[in-house]
Amino acid sequence: MMGVTSSPLDSKDCDSNDPLLRADWTVLDEGHLVSTGSSTLKADDMYTDKYIFKFLGKFPGEAGEKYVLEVKFTKDGTPLNVANPHLIVTKIGDE
C-alpha cells in the first residue's frame, strides 16, 4: 500500500506507481522558502522487524536554525490507519 517492497519479487503484487502514501512538503525559515519536495519522487525506505519507514525527503539545514515544515498529504491514506502511522522529522548526521 505504501509502494515499499523488500525485493523485485515482492513488487509483482504491488503497484508502486500508485502508493497510498503521497505527500508534498515545504520547508520555510522565517517565511522564506528553503526547500520543497514530493513523495512521488524516488524516495528511500527502511525496514526493521517491527516497522516500515518511508522517507518523504530531506533538505540541508543549518545548526541552530528553526524551520517550519508543511506537509500536505495528497492522497487518502485512510487504509493505512490500521498500522497506526506516524510522521517523524529527524536530523540525519552531524551537520
pLDDT in tens, 23-44: 899 999 999 999 999 877 666 7
Secondary structure class of 80 (helix, strand, coil): helix
Q: Higher-confidence residue: 92 or 42? A: 92
Instruction: Spell out the residues 6+ positions from residue 22 whose beta carbon is closer than 8 angstroms to its own.
Output: 38, 39, 40, 73, 74, 75, 77
Secondary structure class of 93 (helix, strand, coil): coil
Query: Could you report the per-residue pLDDT of 41-76, keeping only the tens digit for each?
Result: 666 777 788 888 888 888 888 888 899 999 999 888
pLDDT given at position 30: 93
Cell of 33: 522558502
Q: Which residue in 37, 79, 75 sits closest to 58, CA to CA? A: 37
Instruction: Indicate whether this model's pTM tops 0.75.
Output: no
Structure letter (DSSP) for residue 71: E
